[in-house]
Amino acid sequence: MKIKKNTKIIFLSISIIIIFCGVFSASVSSINKMQDSSYSWYCKPSGGNEQPAFDLDLDELKEYDAYAIGGKEDKVIYLTFDFGYENGNVKRCLDALNKNRVKGAFFILDHIVTNNTDLLREIVETGHIVANHTLKHKNMCQIKNFDDYKNEIVGLSEKFEEMTGYKMAKYYRPPKGEFTKQNLEYNKKLGYKTIFWSLAYKDWDNDSQPNPQESIQRILKRTHNGAVVLLHPTSKTNADILDTLIKEWLKRGYRFGTLDELTGNN
């Protein structure tokens, strides 16, 4: 009887493991099997400085020249900023980067080129990447025609070059992280590498800014090897804490990489 009881326990344990693995594997979606419907980028923070969980196949993502995270074994951080407007905090974030000799990537819109041309020149001239976030921050999933899609992206890069005298790096981040399989195909056809993220937090609402000290602890807890960090440089909290964060990351043994390194453009 004891043997039968142990056998039942073992069988039950194995069944639970099989079911769990099945659920986990089912949660990882295949991009190649996606219908042409919109997908909102998502990753689940793990805490404990472990890499987050994704519900898309990251190896498939690379087939479309799209990236969200670096290697598990490398204590590297890639800093990226979605730059929607300037309210004084973007310049403060840039100064914190330059003070610590850390490079970042700024994803911009067309009115930034018009209204903040000198700041963009400073970003480029101090060694940072300026990249593409579309002309008007439209939902790109709704644009089916290739020429219309191309205009939203190439139109921005052409305006940037015309007004600053510099070429825009061919990195693209979809507005709100929304995309379709067709979008990824269009980006690759245009020669752009799509950049998602593996670490972000609610920093974008300037009318409800998070507590600086709590934000530092939240970000440090979620920091992981190969982290592609998304920050909004318009955030007062981010402007207040970025210098401290960078110093703490360095103290903990992290280094800072560029998108060229992440995507193999070096």
Task: Give residue 110's identity as a one-letter amino acid code.
Answer: D
82 is catalytic: yes
What length is written for the chain?
Answer: 266
Please report the DSSP string for 5-18 in residue order. HHHHHHHHHHHHHH
Q: How far is CA 211 from CA 29, 46, 127, 214, 232, in A?
A: 35, 21, 30, 5, 15
Distance CA 16, CA 228 (A): 34
How far is it, in rounded angstroms, from Cα 210 to Cα 251?
24
Cβ within 8 Å of residue 67, ≥6 positions away: 61, 193, 194, 195, 196, 228, 262, 263
Ramachandran quadrant class, 127 (left: phi over 0; alpha: psi -120 to 50; beta: rest)? left
Any catalytic annotation for residue 224? no
Indicate the DSSP class of residue 31: G
Of 128, 133, 224, 232, catalytic: 232
Measured at the CA of 257, the angle between CA 252 and CA 259, to 5 degrees, comes to 145
In the set 65, 82, 110, 203, the catalytic residue is 82
Residues taking part in catalysis: 82, 232
